[in-house]
Copies of this chain bind each other. A is one copy, B any other.
Amino acid sequence: MITRRWGCSVRIALGNTLIDTERTIVYFNCMRQKDENKREAIFTATLQLLNEIGFADISMSKIARHANVSSSTIYVYFENKEDMFRKLYLNVKEKMSRGMGANLTLSMPVVDAHEQMIRNLVDFVVSNKDYFLFLEQFSSSPMIVRLGLGEEAKQMFHPIYELIERGKREKQLKPIDNSLLLSFIYYPVMSFARSHFYDGTKANDENLNMVIRMSWDAIKA
């Protein structure tokens, strides 16, 4: 990682102090950079294969073939298979969490924030089918528990929990467990998304407005 070089005169900035030296032994970095496109290619290939053939039939060699890299290259970026799945999940979960919390402010009335959040969720899921299918599959598998990602999973809903807490404080929402409220915000939307992909129930404006109204009817105080 570190290469030794001789005889340079250098100026080093240490905070506000500048140090000039001559004929100093200088150590500096000259490592080859990782190609972040490859990490992304591996992630993308894994997502596509997982949604096509599932955890039962996926393998490192198939992922490598699909990503156009050598299977051993994967081990440059990840410790092992489990580590790759873990990092992929954290990556996708983070995007999903950001997606659902977009354009939300504390100054919005709770009812408007609720509507915005459901629109965010549907937008994100419909335009990121791979992420959605992966999250459904991963969250339903025992892997999420075995990799110790149970708490991470809950963290995904942080934007929803914030909204819920405020809604309860402002007496707009029922004063009940967060998990019960979540059951009527997040999960119906995921079901709606699945219908959109599999049953052809179009996620059109009319249906989306209905989902928003039904969810609100369920959770409002």
In the bound assembly, the distance between CA atoms of A24 and B218 in angstroms comes to 75
A contact residues, range: 35 or more
In the bound assembly, the distance between CA atoms of A211 and B187 in angstroms comes to 13
Segment touching B, from A12-20, A99-107, A133-141: A133-141
Indicate whether A111 reaches chain B with its CB closer than 8 angstroms.
no
Chain B residues positioned under 8 Å from A159 (CB to CB): none
Interface string of A163-196 (1 = CB under 8 A from B): 0000000000010110110111011111110010
Copies of this polypeptide in the complex: 2
Contact B199 A179 (CB under 8 A): yes
Indicate whether A41 reaches chain B with its CB closer than 8 angstroms.
no
Given the interface pairs A140-B137, A184-B218, the reply to whether A174 lies near B210 with Cβ below 8 Å is: yes
In the bound assembly, the distance between CA atoms of A207 and B175 in angstroms comes to 12
Given the interface pairs A55-B54, A182-B191, A187-B191, the reply to whether A177 lies near B141 with Cβ below 8 Å is: no
Contact A52 B180 (CB under 8 A): no
Contact B198 A150 (CB under 8 A): yes
Tell which of B55, B133, B195 touches A56, judged by Cβ atoms closer than 8 Å: B55
Indicate whether A214 reaches chain B with its CB closer than 8 angstroms.
yes
Indicate whether A71 reaches chain B with its CB closer than 8 angstroms.
no
Chain B residues positioned under 8 Å from A148 (CB to CB): none
Chain B residues positioned under 8 Å from A150 (CB to CB): 198
* Contact residues of A between 102 and 155, Cβ < 8 Å to B: 133, 136-137, 139-143, 145-146, 150, 154
Chain B nearest CB: distance from A57 CB in Å?
9
Contact A201 B187 (CB under 8 A): no
In the bound assembly, the distance between CA atoms of A180 and B58 in angstroms comes to 33
Chain B residues positioned under 8 Å from A154 (CB to CB): 199
Looking at A139, A187, A210, which has the most chain B CB atoms within 10 Å of its CB? A187
Chain B residues positioned under 8 Å from A219 (CB to CB): 214
Indicate whether A46 reaches chain B with its CB closer than 8 angstroms.
no
